[in-house]
A = this chain, B = another copy of it.
Amino acid sequence: MQPTWNSRFAQRTQRMKSSAIRELLKLTERPDVISFGGGMPAPEIFPSEEIRLACDRILKENSAKALQYGTTEGFNPLRQMITEEATKNGLHCDLENILVSSGSQQALDLLGKVFINPGDNILVESPTYLGALQAWNAYGAEYVVVKSDEHGMLPDSLEEGLRNNPKFMYVLPNFQNPTGITFSLERRKKVVELADKYGVPIIEDDPYGQLRFEGESLPSLAILDAQMRGQSNSRYDGNVIYLSTFSKILAPGIRLAWVIAPPEAVSKIVQAKQGADLNTSSFNQMIAYEVGKDGFISRHVEKIRSVYHERRDVMLDALDEHSPKSIHWTRPEGGLFLWVTLPEGNDSAELMKEALKQNVAFVPGGSFHPLGGGENTIRLNFSFSNPQTINEGISRLGMVFKAHIH
């Protein structure tokens, strides 16, 4: 009398691998480990008091709505708030353009469900966000990778990739996860033009766009696409699906993100979401609306920027002080991550084992590369640990580098 699960898992289940990052995070949960591995915001600056007051008001005044099922598209006042913020920032849109999702990861999953047939090519940066690969592997995606430099995707390589007729292209133009690289204005325009030329839709993932702590803010691909189409003053109906999230500007624990997309794409994503989780928590959406409606978020983002700015600087200085000369790293103008490149031939996954012996952790860069490569790279997170901990952790890491890098 045997249970019969094993023999019945779907083909796609074979493609699902437990995220390397998540498995690694388990190892780094020991309290004596300083982890630069996760992608977690600084918990010290969560707006917990504002959220507490919002919960109190909502549950006293509007609990019948907050605790009930809601519509799949999302809580309308929150959707409205999102359109107003986007329009203010240069992307004119209305309610029909907006879907609220249970974190950006859900949006990536739903986009996979709506767009990817097994064997479809998806055009991505390499390295790129691991969670997107994980979501899309389950739908049988294959990948076409584009070469990049410190200004973003290289146009020649992009054009070559687009000739493979990918189902869509996926880009993170601001402070990319994992590298921290930001696309220049010129490259952004090129991406939008080439995507249009080859008729390939763009998924623009922008979780960190508001977290710029130096340099000039640049228009999103969606804004450039709307300008190119002459839709700057009307509902957006172009070639970009734009994703962003409350995880980095409020808190990830409420699992709230949003999609801005052409109405027809929104309606397909809504259908996929109905089957996936019916709707995102009404209560959590009302919290984000209550906290955000009077402009609190933009004030709060100032604080986040200043904290992350300091932490990035501390990490850059510590790397300067403790690293051997053969190692290089990016200098992101915002976001949560920087990217370290070791000399060719070093294996950061092996190095991770040594690092853990010194109670410091990071994510080996290989897993961010959909077609392999990048074994000599490392992602470091600077948002989560406080400056003192960053200093101590990078000092430990420096010792590991000096002892084991060749």
Contacts and interface: CB of A to CB of B under 8 A. Distances in A.
Given A5-B264, A201-B4, A109 B68 contact: no
A17 interface: yes
Nearest to A21: B274
Contacts of A200: 4
A217 interface: no
Contacts of A329: none
Best-surrounded residue of A18, A59, A168 (most CB of chain B within 10 A): A59
A277 B59 contact: no
A296 interface: no
A179 interface: no
A229 B1 contact: yes
A387 interface: no
Contact of A5 (B63, B69, B70, B201): B201
Contacts of A22: 71-72, 274
A114 B138 CA distance: 9
Interface string A252-289: 11110000001011011011101111111111100000
B278 A103 contact: yes
Given A113-B10, A238-B3, A43 B17 contact: no
A6 B102 CA distance: 25
Nearest to A256: B281
**Which size class do A's interface residues fall under?**
35 or more
A365 to B, nearest CB: 19
Interface core residue of A3, A22, A44, A272 (most chain B CB under 10 Å): A3
Contacts of A39: 69
Given A22-B274, A276-B135, A4 B199 contact: yes
A350 interface: no
Interface stretch (A49-57, A82-90, A388-396): A49-57
Nearest to A198: B4
A117 interface: yes
B55 A43 contact: no
Contact of A40 (B1, B44, B69, B268): B69
Contact of A51 (B67, B139, B201): B67
A13 B268 contact: yes
Given A114-B10, A275-B138, A5 B265 contact: yes
A106 B48 CA distance: 28
8 contacts: A12-B113, A13-B268, A19-B274, A39-B69, A51-B67, A69-B253, A105-B277, A109-B277
Given A10-B116, A43-B68, 12 more contacts: A1-B228, A5-B265, A6-B264, A18-B267, A41-B68, A46-B67, A48-B67, A52-B55, A70-B253, A102-B281, A277-B277, A283-B284
